[in-house]
Amino acid sequence: MHKPDTPQIGGKIRRLRRQRRISQADLAASLAISPSYLNLIEHNRRKITVTLLFKFAGYFGIEAGELAQSDDSQLLGDLMELFGDDIFADCDLTNLDIRDLAFSNPLAARAVLRLFDKYRALGARHAPASNNGDDKEHERHKFHHATDAISDFIQENVNHFAELESAAGRVRADIDNASDNFEIGLHTYLSNVFGINWRLASLPQGIASRVSSDARILEISDILPPETAIFSIARHLGLLAAKGQIEDIISQSSLPEDDAPALARNVLASYFAAALIMPYHPFLKASEQYRYDIDRISRHFGASFEQVCHRMTTLQSPGAQGIPLHLIRTDIAGNISKRFSLSGIHIPRHSGACPRWNVYSAFLQPGRINVQLSQMPDGEIYFCIARAFEKGGHRHNAQRRYFSLGLGCHISQAKRMIYSDGIDLSNSAQIVPIGVGCRI
């Protein structure tokens, strides 16, 4: 397989610079290079010397090895999947051509992905409309287009938003000062700062929370699990306490002007909620101390299995990083509803995942951790865990939804996870070859 001659880290340098609100001119001056040269580096059009690599690492306060790891593997995988479509069958594009696009001009590559998403959405829209005139299918595809844009947005930011971490940290300090009990302190903070009280209420099916007409009462469904109820309150607080940070992040993004910005607000408010309930450095410390034991960490922070898995993927603060993980959530029909990858594994963008992947076999043993050594077609091996679970309210005949959540890392990081204990990672007989996706 072709390997780039030099680390393709321009996208990471650009992201770190933007996160710190630093202009190209200021960064270039600090490193004694020209702004035009920095611009070429950020677009992977110039090689970066070892000396300059260490200068960048020192400026951003991270290890040179962390900086040299590319964030663009998921982008490359998405492009490989896209150009594998029949529409490109006669284009004679090679893997090297696609790799060059991903690494030399990631902004253009993402624009191509967005254009193809639009193409698919338009095709899906007109096909059913000509048959039955039903707008529901059109709305469904509009939503999927927005969620694809959100997935790209999260991937571009490696699922780490320093502004929201800081905002959540400030609010958490005030909550902890108000009470030793987080729930009581949260209630006090909402009341004192925003004049809002919350209460449990019997809400219509499918409604987790709602705000009263005078915006003074936040009603939380009384059938939600406790950790979900608290998370819902914290998410609402995020829309208020971190409104400025959320709007700044969205305004500086390349999200399309449709449903994506509204969806992004909810996603970023959920990020704030996770950072509030599971503060960054205590959570990172617990993750390393307990070796990413999800159940133990869930109990420690009073969070759900899924909430903890999500939070683990956000541990990408420069100089204080966790394991580079991937995460996938699928329903029992194979529809992927969440995807993110820092491990290097490719998660399909449009098709379903490979049926050999343990994220599907986990449905056979719901509630149990399923472990697999998964080998992708490029020969890379990943340590993958998965658990199937149900979501629904605590009430007789409450609607249930069934999901499987997969989490994992490159095999080189597997020993850091407790789930690798007792597994011979060098035993090739345990490796399960999986494909990139399934188009069935």
**Which of 89, 111, 133 lies at the terminal end of a domain, its last residue?**
133
Could you report the per-residue pLDDT of 195-231, keeping only the tens digit for each? 999 999 998 877 889 998 888 999 999 999 999 999 9
User: Are 106 and 223 in a shared domain?
Assistant: no
Average the pLDDT over each of 53-57, 199-203, 293-297 and give the range with the smallest value.
Answer: 53-57
Residue 289 lies in a domain: no
Confidence of residue 144 (pLDDT cuts 50, 70, 90): low
Q: What are the residues whose beta carbons fall under 8 Å from the beta carbon of 227, sequence distance 6 or more? A: 298, 302, 303, 304, 307
Domain count, the chain: 4
Mapped onto helix, strand or coil, the DSSP state of residue 406 is strand
Show the domain range for 304.
300-433
Based on the fold, state whether residues 272 and 138 are members of the same structural domain: yes
Which of 67, 82, 114 is the C-terminal boundary of a domain? 67
Determine, yes or no, domain membership for 340: yes
- Identify which of 342, 344, 330 has the alpha carbon closest to the alpha carbon of residue 438: 330
With a CB cutoff of 8 Å and minimum separation 6, the contacts of 437 are 81, 348, 350, 351, 352, 353, 354
Alpha carbon distance 325, 225 (integer Å): 27
| pTM for this predicted structure | 0.77
| Residues 242 and 313 both lie in one domain | no
Cβ pair 9, 46 in contact under 8 A: no
Same domain, 18 and 102: no
Q: How far apart are CA 369 and CA 438, in angstroms?
A: 23
Could you tell me the pLDDT band of residue 377, with boundaries at 50, 70 and 90?
A: confident
**Which of helix, strand or coil describes residue 230?**
helix
Query: For residues 64 and 61, what is the distance between their CA atoms, to the nearest angstrom?
Result: 9
pLDDT band at 3; cut points 50, 70, 90: very low
pLDDT more than 90, % of the chain: 53
Q: Is 66 exposed, middle or buried (0-12, 13-18, 19+ CB in 10 A)?
A: middle
CATH of the domain at 350: 3.30.450
Instruction: Give the tens place of pLDDT for each residue, 347-372.
Output: 888 777 888 999 999 999 999 999 99
Please tell me whether residues 52 and 92 are part of one structural domain: no
Whether 17 shows a pLDDT value over 60: the answer reads yes
Higher pLDDT, 123 or 341: 341
CA distance 342 to 291: 18
